[in-house]
């Protein structure tokens, strides 16, 4: 695998290879010394033009557990603030010998531009680009679902027959997009639930069912309920009347938590707006996989760095 830019590009076999390698990486986390020499001598640059907690620190932990050298670059405090272009930034990283660039950028498509540019000969990993995709988030979500269904050794399994309901700000969500492609490739069925104002134009062409009523969607007893963050920083208009109204109609509150099937799980990519899209009881309940998702993110990102930098894992 040369780059990881999108889950839309992944075949079922490529996706399962990443999940299976992540199982091997999770085994490393169980050891007394949580480190392997697989990427010794390689340099990974975390190039973040947008804020992040989970993705940035888990890529850093992943690279370090594989013994790579890690350089963390945040646009704030860098020469990007002085107007330096993506091209000049990339050529600077090339000059210092970056083998992989993990990029988060506010512009949809920026990782693909970097991968196709010729400015730098490095593996490019998309850590979230605008409202386009967040492929490692979807991979860690798939990994988390698969582990909850099949236990710690779920190697080889896909998600055939699993029902996943994704609720909230679909319009601005790169997580929803990456999950829609990846989870359907793995055999799951996806339902989006949102106000009409928070659904993208052309949603009818996506491989998903669309509902507007959360209570009707939850009555179908989905295996997985994934709540999305309301992305206030990307909203330049009023998409719903008020936070209270949104929470009442589309929030996973305590009453809705109580109607879920006994073995269903509640997911959230984080960061959460507690009390808006998800109640504290739902976020902290035994059904919630929020902290598992973060832990699994390290294993998935180890797998992605290993596969891109070792050249294994398929054609991409």
Q: How far apart are the first and last CA of the chain?
A: 5
The DSSP symbol for 240 reads S
Nearest distance from residue 104's CB to ligand CP, in Å? Answer: 7
Nearest to ligand CP of 2, 54 (CB atom): 54
Nearest distance from residue 230's CB to ligand CP, in Å? Answer: 14
Nearest to ligand CP of 119, 143 (CB atom): 143
Nearest to ligand CP of 56, 147 (CB atom): 56
Please give the residue whose beta carbon sits closest to ligand CP in the complex. 55
Nearest to ligand CP of 8, 54 (CB atom): 54
Tokens of 38: 């697989």
Beta bridge partners of 126: 103
Measured CA to CA, the distance from residue 248 to residue 250 in angstroms comes to 6
Q: Which residues contact ligand CP by CB under 6 A?
A: 52-55, 128, 137, 269-271
Tokens of 119: 């400015």
Nearest to ligand CP of 97, 271 (CB atom): 271
Calculate the alpha carbon distances from 30 to 1, 17, 37, 188, 299 in Å. 26, 21, 16, 29, 11
Nearest distance from residue 145's CB to ligand CP, in Å? Answer: 16
Measured CA to CA, the distance from residue 16 to residue 217 in angstroms comes to 28
Nearest distance from residue 303's CB to ligand CP, in Å? Answer: 17
Determine contact, residues 165/217, Cβ cutoff 8 Å. yes
Nearest distance from residue 295's CB to ligand CP, in Å? Answer: 13
């Amino acid at each position: 695998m040369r780059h990881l830019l999108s889950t839309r590009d992944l075949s079922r076999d490529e996706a399962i290879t990443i999940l299976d390698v992540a199982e091997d990486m999770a085994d490393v986390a169980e050891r007394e010394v949580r480190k392997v020499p697989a990427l010794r001598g390689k340099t990974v640059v975390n190039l973040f033009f947008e804020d992040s907690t989970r993705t940035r620190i888990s890529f850093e932990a992943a690279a370090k557990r594989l013994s790579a050298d890690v350089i963390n670059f945040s646009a704030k405090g860098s020469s990007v603030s002085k107007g330096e272009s993506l091209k000049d930034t990339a050529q600077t990283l090339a000059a210092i010998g970056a083998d992989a660039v993990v990029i988060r950028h506010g512009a949809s498509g920026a990782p693909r531009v970097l991968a196709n540019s010729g400015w730098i000969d490095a593996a490019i990993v998309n850590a979230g680009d605008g409202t386009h995709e967040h492929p490692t988030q979807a991979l860690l979500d798939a990994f988390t679902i698969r582990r909850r269904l099949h236990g710690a050794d779920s190697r080889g399994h896909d998600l055939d027959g699993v029902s996943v309901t994704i609720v909230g700000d679909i319009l601005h969500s790169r997580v929803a997009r990456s999950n829609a492609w990846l989870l359907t490739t793995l055999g799951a069925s996806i339902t989006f639930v949102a106000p009409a104002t928070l659904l993208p134009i052309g949603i009818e062409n996506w491989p998903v069912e669309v509902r507007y009523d959360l209570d009707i969607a939850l009555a179908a007893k989905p295996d997985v309920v994934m709540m999305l963050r309301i992305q206030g920083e990307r909203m330049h208009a009023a998409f719903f009347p008020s936070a209270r109204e949104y929470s009442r109609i589309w929030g996973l509150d305590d009453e809705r938590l109580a109607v879920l099937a006994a073995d269903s799980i509640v997911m959230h990519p984080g960061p959460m707006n507690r009390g808006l899209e998800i109640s504290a009881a739902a976020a902290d309940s035994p059904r919630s996989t929020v902290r598992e998702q973060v832990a699994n993110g390290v294993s998935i990102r180890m797998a992605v760095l290993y596969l891109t930098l070792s050249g294994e894992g398929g054609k991409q």
